[in-house]
Chains A and B, each alone.
Chain A
C-alpha cells in the first residue's frame, strides 16, 4: 500500500531533452531559408510570365514539402533593383 501511495504522490517531471526538442521544433519551423531560383525554375525564368513563375514555384513547393497548394502564398517584391520572390508555406 505504502509504495503505491508514494508512487502516486511522486509527480512525473518532463525530461528536459523533450522540452528542448519541442522548443527547437517551434523555433526552426518559422525560419526563413533562401533557395536559389534556378533550383526551382531552371532556364524557364526568362521565358515565362509572372503567373507561370508563381505556378512553377507552387508546384515545386507542393512536391518538396508535401503540402497542399492552398498552403502556399507567393509574392513578388522589388528590392534594390532585384525581384525578390517571397514564398510563405503554412504547415499543418
Chain B
C-alpha cells in the first residue's frame, strides 16, 4: 500500500493546504504516524493552517543545505503527538530545492512514518516537479469550476507524462455546494469525473466550518467526528483501501423549520 502522497492541483486557492492539514490530522487521529512536508517554498502556509507557525526552528532548506537532518527539522503537532511537519522556508526560493533533494528527504523519513503527505505549490514549474518527485500517489484537488478543472486536467497530463499510472492519480473535488448542484447551477461530481477520467477519492462540501477552523489554526478534522471531519475520515479510509461510498461525504442537508414544514406538506399532497 502506498504511503507517500502529493496533494496538487495546478490552480492556486483550491484548498490543497487545508486538505493536506486535515488529511494529516485525520490519519494521525486514527493512530498513524504522519509527516507533512510543505513543498511550497517561499509561500508557505501549512504551518499556519496547523497553528504551528511559532514553533518553526529549521526548514526544508536547512535540510537540503545539509545544516540539519530531516528528523531534526520536524515540528511536532501540539495535540496530535503522531503528526509532524517539515516546514518550508519563507525567504528561500523554489530553485533552492531540487527534485533529487525531495527524493532524498522522503527516502530518509520513509522508514519512520506510516504516511508522508507533500503539499505542492500551485503551478506546474519547479515547485510542482519537486513536490511530485518522491510521491507514490498524486491527489489532484479541483473545485467545481472551469478554470480549476481545466488546470487539473493539465496536471493529470503532466503526472501521466512523468510516470504516474491511472491507479496512482486520484481526485478530490473541493467546495461542492449540494444545493447548487441540485438546481443545475454547479457541475456534478459525475461531470467532473467524466472529463478528468481519474478515480474520485472524495467530495468536500463548501462549509463555513473550514473558514472558521483556518482562522483558529485548528484543522476542521479536530472538531469532533461530524460534518467535514467525517468527510476527511471517509477520505482517509479510502486511502487505506477501505470501501467507503463517496455519497457519504456530503453530510445530510439540515432543514430549517419552514422548509421541513413545506416538505411535509408536499409529501402529504404527493
A residues near B (Cβ < 8 Å) are 15-18, 20-21, 23-25, 27-28, 31-36
Contacts and interface: CB of A to CB of B under 8 A. Distances in A.
B150 A17 contact: no
B156 to A, nearest CB: 9
Contacts, number: 48
A86 B14 CA distance: 33
B256 to A, nearest CB: 25
Contact of B187 (A20, A27, A33, A34): A20
Contacts of B186: 16-17
B66 to A, nearest CB: 33
B208 interface: no
Contacts of B184: 15-18
A16 B158 CA distance: 29
Contact of B146 (A15, A23, A31): A23
A24 B149 contact: yes
Interface in B156-209: 157-158, 160-161, 163, 181, 183-188, 191, 195
Interface string B73-114: 000000000000000000000000000000000000000000
B161 A34 contact: yes
B153 interface: yes
